[in-house]
Amino acid sequence: MKLLLAGISGYGAYYMKLLTGFADLSENPLCGVVDPYPENSPWLPWLREHNVPVYPSLEAFYGKNSADLVFLATPIALHKPQILEAIAHGSHVLCEKPLTARIQEALELRNGRDSFGKKLGVGFQWSFCHTMQALKKDILAGVFGRPISFSTFISWKRDDAYYDPKGWKGKAYDREKGWYLDSVATNATAHYLHGLLFLLGDTMTSSAMPEYVEGSVYRARPIESFDTVFLRGEYKGCRLLYTATHVGEVNENPTFRLCFENGEVIFGDSTGQTVVARFHDGREIVYGKPQTDEENAQKILRMIQCVKEDEAPACSVETILPHLAICNGIFDRFPIAGFPAELVEREESPASLHVKGLYEEARRCYEEGLLPDEAGCSWSVPSLRFSPGEITSFSGKRFLPAEEQE
Out of 45-54, 171-180, 230-239, 325-334, least confident range: 171-180
Task: State the average pLDDT over residues 294-302.
Answer: 98
Ordered DSSP codes for 16-77: HHHHHHHS-TTTS-EEEEE-S-GGG-TTHHHHHHTT--EESSHHHHHTT---SEEEE-S-HH
What are the tens digits of pLDDT across the range 88-97? 999 999 999 9
The CATH code belonging to domain 3-126 is 3.40.50.720
Per-residue pLDDT, 406: 57
Angle at 24 between CA 19 and CA 29, to 5 degrees: 80
140 φ/ψ sector (left φ>0, alpha ψ -120 to 50, else beta): alpha
Q: CA dist 259 to 59, 97, 241, 323, 331, Å?
A: 49, 27, 12, 21, 29
Distance CA(212)–CA(215), nearest Å, equals: 10
Question: What does residue 230 show for φ and ψ, rounded to 5 degrees?
Answer: -125, 120
Q: Do the Cβ atoms of 345 and 354 come closer than 8 Å?
A: yes
Instruction: Flag whether pLDDT at 26 surpasses 60.
Output: yes
pLDDT attached to residue 404: 67
pLDDT of 355 strictly over 80: yes
CB 351 within 8 A of CB 159: yes
Residue 312 is classified by DSSP as: -
The CATH number for 130-291+314-404, chosen from 3.30.360.10, 3.30.499.10, 3.30.70.270, 3.40.50.300, is: 3.30.360.10
Q: CA–CA separation, 406 vs 401, rounded Å?
A: 10
Neighbours of 372 (CB within 10 A): 25
Tell me how far apart the 2 most distant CA atoms of the chain are, in Å. 63
User: Residue 300 above 90 pLDDT?
Assistant: yes
pLDDT number for residue 29: 97
How many helices and strands in the chain, by DSSP H and E? 13, 20
The reported pLDDT for the residue numbered 400 is: 82
pLDDT band at 175 (very low <50, low <70, confident <90, very high): confident
- Rounded to an integer, what distance in angstroms lies between the CA atom of residue 285 and that of residue 292? 19
Q: How far apart are CA 235 and CA 323, in angstroms?
A: 13
CB 392 within 8 A of CB 107: yes
3-state secondary structure of 346: strand
Poorest-pLDDT segment among 12-16, 136-140, 271-275: 271-275
Parse the chain into domains and list their residue ranges: 3-126, 130-291+314-404
Query: What DSSP character marks residue 399?
Result: G
**Distance from C-alpha of 61 to C-alpha of 74, rounded to nearest angstrom:** 15
Residue type, 214: E
**Can you tell me whether residue 332 is helix, strand or coil?**
helix
* Average model confidence (pLDDT) across the chain: 96
